[in-house]
Chains A and B, each alone.
Chain A
Amino acid sequence: MFNTETNARTTGQKVGWKLSLWRAILSTALGERLVYRGDFALGTLMRFLPIVTQIFLWYAIFDSIEATRGGNLETTEIRGFHFTDIVAYYLLTMVARAFSSMPGLASGIAREIRDGEIKRYLIQPIDLISFLLLTRIAHKLAYYAIAILPFALVFFLCRNYFASGWPSWHVLVAFAGSLVMGFLIGFFLEAAIGMIGFWFLEVSSLLFVYMLFSFFLSGHMFPLTMLPDNVAAFVNFLPLKYLAYFPAAIFLGKIPEDELPMELAIEACWLTFFIIVCRIAYSRGVQRYSGFGG
């Protein structure tokens, strides 16, 4: 009886301790972000500048398609994308990337392994992956708290590019779900890459190759449907599309509504896969790891 009582108390304490830990991490990350809020909001706004070039580039492309084939801007399309859709697509991939991009995650893990800093997670009662995930969530929340202003401004200015207006509410729910899962896939995928540092000390070149592929194949550069058919079939199978293309395609209604549950389920499978890979890589890596010095 005595035993269970202490158990119950420790569980209660554990939850309390966890909550206070989370709060501490969250408030630190928020504090860090808010110090440079002006600079940061401006920087976020600047990030939309390349889209200006894209708008003009795609207008010129649609313009010449019109000129050769006839028709007007509303009827001309490339693989189901009208001109306004493409602009909206680029804007939406910015949102998707705001969720799924993980700057410095993989390189940070690899550095901690190399420098031996990873030791502190082995001796302290903190799990590395959960800690990193929490910090990331905190950083992202702080990021959205400030970035929402420039994002809202740009989307308001560009509202005419969203020709079909707001999608129905279940599309919006699917969109939100794909964003959250995109964040998690991005996190576990990059964390798993960082874990490669247990085996190879230098992962920066590997990381660069990954970044290159993810930029091209996530749909950040152009809608993936524009790829030649045989390539598109293969790329559609890869999980990289969840980082940018997939949420944007959902919002724009490019994925039929009756296929949404299935597509989201497949995404959830990929997410589970990456969680498992990340966990296995970590436990195997820790077994291999030997830390020297203080």
Chain B
Amino acid sequence: MQQESGSDRKKYWKVFLTFARNSLVRDMTFRTNFVLQCVSSLGWTLMNVGFYLIIFQYTTSIGADSGWDRDKFFLFIATTWFINSLVQAFFMPNAEEFSELIRTGGLDFALLKPIDTQFLISFRRVDWSALSNFAAGLIIALVALYSLATRQNDPMTPSILSIVLYIFFVGCGVAIMYSLMICLSATSIWLGRNQTLYNFWFYITNFSRYPMEIYDRGWGRPLYGFFTFIIPVLLVVNIPARILARPISPQTSEDQLLIAWGIAATLLSLWISRWVFKRALLSYRSASS
């Protein structure tokens, strides 16, 4: 890694802002397309909310005694939406472009630039329309919080501390997802092409969309272990959602261990993905002449 002195950090931040501005200009050139993309992702959100509303017509919670009643589960959904929209806005378009760069040999130019290659690859494009889902998540979260605070039995308002921790762990979740994505797209250096990247991504992150307790039974236990400790996608949404939806003070030691493991897992996955990315670059052979 390059030396992270203050001026360097400032430079990287400036480069990132330029990327973000460029993407915004690009998106605004095709404004109708942009609006349509926003509308269609909001349609997808509505459909999911409809599905969960239907489920809660028949049940009061997801899992017996798990505490995930309707309002709390919608907080969970909102968390999923925050993390996914951030990943889709900042990293998804870049990961898709990365495998294209490798196939066409365009990566040569990225390697020549006097800037960290992983940074350049990861932040080049920002898909602003994906942030419409962030707004949708915000609406879901606010409605759920309001309903949670004003309901008859067991009302709850999260403390300031839990909100701060929540934001921090949403960041951790995004970092874990980012690491996973970098690892997946780095494999396209070895494989030459990676069309199944998106599919694979979808199938793995699919597991992160529900409270982790539901896997903790029977033949779900190996999955539970695998997706908590090996590929920690279960931590991504679960840790922040638990912090927000459950009162902080009477935490069990298991909860605290999970939170500690969440921080460790974030650091580990960032470190591993950095290592995988560097290894992959070493085996890169330019495709162009």
Contact = CB atoms under 8 A, between A and B. Distances in A.
Contact of B66 (A53, A60, A205): A60
Nearest to A215: B47
Interface stretch (A43-51, A98-106, A134-142): A43-51
A35 to B, nearest CB: 15
Contact of B63 (A49, A60, A222): A60
A263 interface: no
Contacts of A65: 58-59
Interface in B23-63: 36, 40, 43-44, 47, 50-51, 54-55, 57-63
Nearest to A67: B64
Tell which of A53, A65, A66, A228 has the most Cβ of chain B within 10 Å. Answer: A53
Interface stretch (B10-18, B106-114, B204-212, B272-280): B204-212
Nearest to A62: B59
A132 interface: no
Contacts of A49: 203, 206
Nearest to B43: A212
A152 interface: no
A151 to B, nearest CB: 17
Given A67-B64, A205-B36, A61 B58 contact: yes
B213 A60 contact: yes
Interface string B78-114: 0000000000000000000000000000000000000
A53 B210 CA distance: 8
B19 interface: no
Given A53-B206, A205-B36, A59 B214 contact: yes
Q: What secondary structure prevails in chain B residues at the interface with A?
A: helix
B54 A222 contact: yes
B220 interface: yes
B58 A57 contact: no
A209 B41 CA distance: 10
B47 A221 contact: yes
B220 A56 contact: yes
B4 interface: no
Given A43-B196, A56-B210, 20 more contacts: A49-B206, A50-B203, A60-B62, A60-B63, A60-B64, A60-B66, A60-B210, A60-B213, A64-B62, A64-B65, A65-B59, A67-B64, A79-B58, A205-B40, A208-B40, A212-B43, A215-B47, A216-B47, A216-B50, A222-B51
Interface of A: 43, 46, 49-50, 52-53, 56-57, 59-61, 63-68, 78-79, 205, 208-209, 212, 215-216, 221-222, 226-228
